[in-house]
């Protein structure tokens, strides 16, 4: 049976952020994820998790200046000291929230930047992060993201359909990078939405990379809406993941077309639905 986590930057955005925890729990979610915990004190987030009986399953390492278009620091030459210093915040929030998985984002390769140099920087930084976070019980995950699209216009904070110029785009590249990083605390994070936009062959990719897969996310294609909207047949993939023995979380990182609870019909067979009146 898949374990679904509500992404609170995407779901329940009808509510103030701190009220989304209770809304997710009322619908049957037992895990939550969101990109940026740093907007709130860790003790406030911990209280919400405890009050709602929720597990924090994933957050992102500091990404630099989001409003200026930065989407991570790991591949940026010359920013190594800033990247390493940012890991202290990961430890602070990871400990407080009881979260054992952090997405260490790569960043954007801008005009005039040398891609090969960015890759060397990325490998060294991710190796350092994996080593630094291992004693804390926090695993590093890396995620391919499509570079064709950007922020959701008029959407909630931190919601995107892709990241223009993002360094890491394909699952095969992520696999090669993990081999180069060469640390057993570095893992793969796949998002079926991005995979379908750029690659297709979802079932084969999941079969191939399952041994290194620690986290998975879902959304419909096109539009990044509910997973029962669009061209991906998720019930098949969920059954496949059960068959393959995947026991990690599946993050629901999609944009509801309307009210969040109205779009949960796809999840009823998995114990998630609108709360009873």
Rama region for 201: left / alpha / beta (φ>0; ψ in -120 to 50; rest): left
Contact 250, 218 (CB under 8 A): yes
Q: How far apart are CA 102 and CA 35, in angstroms?
A: 9
Give the active site residue among 33, 119, 143, 226. 143
226 catalytic residue (yes or no): no
Contact (Cβ atoms closer than 8 angstroms) between residue 260 and residue 271 = no
How far apart are alpha carbons 159 and 151 in whole angstroms? Answer: 6
Query: What stretches of 75-201 show up as alpha helix (H) in DSSP?
Result: 80-97, 115-133, 171-181, 192-198
Rounded Cα gap, residues 247 and 226, in angstroms: 22
- The residues, ordered by sequence, that sit 6+ positions from 85 with a Cβ below 8 Å of its Cβ are none
For residues 145 and 215, give the distance between their C-alpha atoms in angstroms, rounded to a whole number: 14
| Helix count and strand count (H, E) for the chain | 8, 8
Which of 33, 119, 226, 253 does the annotation list as catalytic?
253
- Residue 210 · residue 244 · CB < 8 Å: yes
Give the integer Cα–Cα distance in Å for 69 and 19.
28
Q: Is 199 a catalytic residue?
A: no
What residues are annotated to the active site? 143, 253
């Amino acid at each position: 049976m898949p374990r679904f986590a509500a992404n609170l930057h995407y779901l329940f955005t009808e509510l103030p952020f701190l009220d989304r925890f209770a809304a997710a729990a009322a619908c049957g979610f037992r895990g939550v994820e969101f990109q940026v915990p740093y907007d709130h004190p860790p003790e406030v987030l911990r209280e919400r998790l405890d009050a709602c009986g929720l597990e924090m399953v994933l957050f992102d390492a500091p990404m630099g200046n989001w409003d200026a278009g930065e989407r991570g620091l790991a591949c940026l030459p010359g920013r190594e000291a800033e990247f390493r210093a940012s890991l202290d915040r990961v430890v602070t929030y990871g400990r407080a929230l009881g979260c054992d998985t952090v997405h260490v984002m790569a960043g954007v390769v801008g005009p005039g930047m040398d891609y090969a140099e960015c890759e060397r920087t990325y490998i060294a930084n991710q190796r350092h992060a994996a080593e630094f976070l291992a004693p804390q019980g926090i695993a590093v995950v890396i995620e391919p993201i499509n570079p064709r699209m950007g922020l959701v216009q008029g959407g909630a904070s931190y919601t995107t359909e892709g990241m223009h110029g993002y360094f890491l785009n394909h699952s095969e590249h992520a696999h090669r990078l993990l081999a180069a990083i060469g640390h057993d605390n570095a893992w793969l994070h796949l998002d079926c939405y991005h995979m379908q936009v750029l690659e297709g062959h979802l079932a084969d990719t999941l079969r191939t990379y399952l041994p290194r897969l620690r986290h998975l996310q879902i959304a419909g294609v096109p539009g990044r809406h509910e997973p029962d909207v669009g061209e991906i047949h998720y019930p098949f993939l969920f059954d496949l993941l059960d068959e393959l023995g995947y026991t990690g979380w599946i993050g629901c990182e999609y944009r509801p077309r309307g009210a969040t609870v109205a779009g949960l019909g796809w999840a009823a067979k998995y114990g998630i639905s609108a709360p009873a009146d």
